[in-house]
Amino acid sequence: MRALALSFLAASLLPMAAVGQGGPPLVTDDPGTPGPGHWEVNVAGTVEDRQTGRLWDAPLIDANYGWGERIQLKIEIPWRIGTTPEGGTASGLGEALIGVKWRFLDQDTSGVDLGTYPQVGFRTVSSSALKGIAQDYTSVLLPLTVEKNLGFLSANVEIGWEWRSGERSHEFAGLALGRPLSERLEVLGEVFTDIPGRLSEASVTWDAGGRWTVNKHLILLFSAGSGIRGSPGEPRLRFIGYLGTQWLL
């Protein structure tokens, strides 16, 4: 993590053009869309390690389609594997997520990219919820995303609200920064917080990673980080990781 942070800092000092940075492998999203008739398909493995166990999404399929210049259609679904410190293992389909992104302002004309990204998450199979590897509620996410090219780097802010059936609503916010080291490599950093009602219960995660462009159709994605828990009863997050590919079709 220290090496990643130093690489990100060094990159921010280089006189190169910044590029967009939100979206996979980060949690914070951005207003960017694939473009008319284009597909962006992310195939990844993710891990979340807490004191109470470990959750893997392997694979996590995140398919996005550009409907015109400003709209993106999304569907995401994982195959989830959960393990416990005692050695127990369970697997099954995780929650599905569908959404529509709309970018209604562009930097070329307005100085910033600005968009919204409503999404609905829902349980796919009841057995995964019974096994404790998937949430047993429906959620609605209403985020606002902003991106600004600052010259030496690109900054992306996402703020939003999430409604969960049978639970308290959550607010969330993320800040992501991106900077190219070369024509092929972009380094990334992020801080993301989830607030379930009271600010004192906010959980904070941070991670760093990058994107390596193999060719015009394939990009490698990677990130790693950690976090702090919010409420006293919440298990501590020890590690989060993302490793995957992005296919541009």
Q: pLDDT category, 142, cuts 50, 70, 90?
A: very high
Q: What is the pLDDT of residues 176-201, one digit of tens each?
A: 999 999 999 999 999 999 998 777 78
Residue 4 has pLDDT above 80, yes or no: no
Q: Are 94 and 57 in contact (CB under 8 A)?
A: yes
pLDDT tens by residue, 28-87: 999 999 999 999 999 999 999 988 889 999 999 999 999 999 999 999 999 999 998 888
User: How far is Cα 15 from Cα 232, in angstroms, rounded to an integer?
Assistant: 45
Average of per-residue pLDDT across 212-230: 94
Beta bridge partners of 203: 194
Distances (CA, A) of 109 to 71, 122, 182, 190, 215: 18, 37, 28, 27, 30
Q: Give the Cα separation of 139 and 210 in Å (integer).
A: 29
pLDDT (mean) for 152-166 = 93
> Can you give the pLDDT at residue 8?
39
Residues 135 and 156: their CA atoms lie apart, in Å, by: 28
Q: What pLDDT is attached to residue 17?
A: 43
pTM score: 0.88
Q: Which of 229, 243, 196 lies closest to 52, judged by CA?
A: 229
**Mean pLDDT across the chain, nearest whole number?**
89
Q: Look at residue 237 in the predicted model and tell me its pLDDT.
A: 84
Six-digit token string for 21: 């940075």
Rounded CA gap, 48 and 228, in Å? 13
